[in-house]
Structure 1
């Protein structure tokens, strides 16, 4: 049940799970976003936004467009309330569902990121391939994970990094890089990739 709540939070328990993830992911979000250098002309998507802490921060940066996708209805409701508390000059769109259900946007995206949720995706290669089609030619993606299994170690983090690197390469991303961050109880890993070979 606990695993399911973090994968797809539901009801009151799910809202508590979302608040826990927000506290834990705060530094991870900042670290992940540091690889994307989001600017005012960017079109950004967060996959699995949870309680919406990163979305709210990015909205304040006023990118051209900001989208969020999450399979949890309670998380969608929570984030809509948070975003409605403030007025943003840019466009913010919130979607309820799985990343693979996203249709093509009117304009391609520039940045996509996901924190602590790719291990819940049913078919990560196909979803990443789909996300790649949504990116602009110089678009960039960042995937961050911290292992939470009971017997996980920093070695687990290294394995996760290698697995995510392999997924991005198989999905067609180029210039794939692995980044590590010292954390407790286990290190974090962020893997970045681009739609083409240009270095950004």
Structure 2
């Protein structure tokens, strides 16, 4: 059962996947709002969300007049259908687009976005220079990446996640040329410790 639930969180499928997608929308609202604040959206922003899920963050971002385009990338066809439904007006207007794809091979052009972000999707990435280089590639010069995740719960730090951040993610970002790489602490949500890793191209 745990394996089934983990797979649904990674790549929701069918009606059960729809349920998990909407559940994640409700669970992750505090860190979603916090992450969007971190983006510091300005005029003519072009934003990519990696692991867009059911499209709640996209819809929230699209309410801001500074945003020109938001693209959502996800592995799950079920989640993309939910995100398209949630953002159907923006999709019709051309200010939102949804793509099936993987962070290790982002199907988008170089220097396309001023902001790239993800919320609770990094746990399912293959963290290596290729993955991080794809994020770097699609960012415009001076564009920023914001990767939000949890690194513990109820006062306990998860050493596996912390080791991934300090031993793989941040070194890869610095190696590939990201500047101002740092960790910022966010709100605790349901006891989980929220942090974000930030970097600038």
Q: TM-score range by the shorter chain?
A: 0.7 to 0.9
Kindly indicate whether residue 194 of structure 2 is the aligned counterpart of residue 192 of structure 1: no
Q: Distance in 2 between matches of 1:119 and 1:112?
A: 17
Compute the displacement of 1:122 (Å).
2.6
SS in 2 for 1:137: strand
TM value normalised by structure 1 = 0.85
Distance 2:121 2:142 in 1: 24
Q: Is the 8 A contact 2:154 2:193 kept in 1?
A: no
Determine whether 1:108 maps to 2:89: no
Alpha-carbon distance, 1:86 to partner: 5.8
- C-alpha displacement of 1:102: 2.2
Would you say how many aligned residue pairs link Structure 1 and Structure 2?
Answer: 193
| Kept in 2: contact 1:59–1:90 (CA 8 A) | no
* Range that drifts further, 120-129 or 186-195: 120-129
Among 59, 63, 87, the residue aligned to 2:62: 59
Cα deviation for residue 7 of structure 1 reads: 0.6
Partner SS for 1:40: coil
Matched, 1:46 2:49: yes
Unaligned runs of 5+ residues in structure 1 are 196-200
Map of 1:156 onto structure 2:
158
RMSD: 2.4
SS of residue in 2 equivalent to 1:146: strand
Query: TM-score, length-normalised on structure 2?
Result: 0.85
Q: Where do 1:87-166 residues align within 5 Å?
A: 91-105=95-109, 108-147=112-151, 154-156=156-158, 159=162, 161-163=165-167, 164-166=169-171
**Higher fraction of strand:** 2
- Helix, strand or coil at the partner of 1:143: strand
Separation in 2, partners of 1:51, 1:126: 26
Conserved 8 A contact 2:120-2:149: yes
Q: CA deviation at 1:189?
A: 0.9
2:180 to 171, 175, 178: 175
Residues 100 and 127, structure 1, Cα contact 8 Å, conserved in 2: yes
Bigger mean CA offset, 134-143 vs 154-163: 154-163
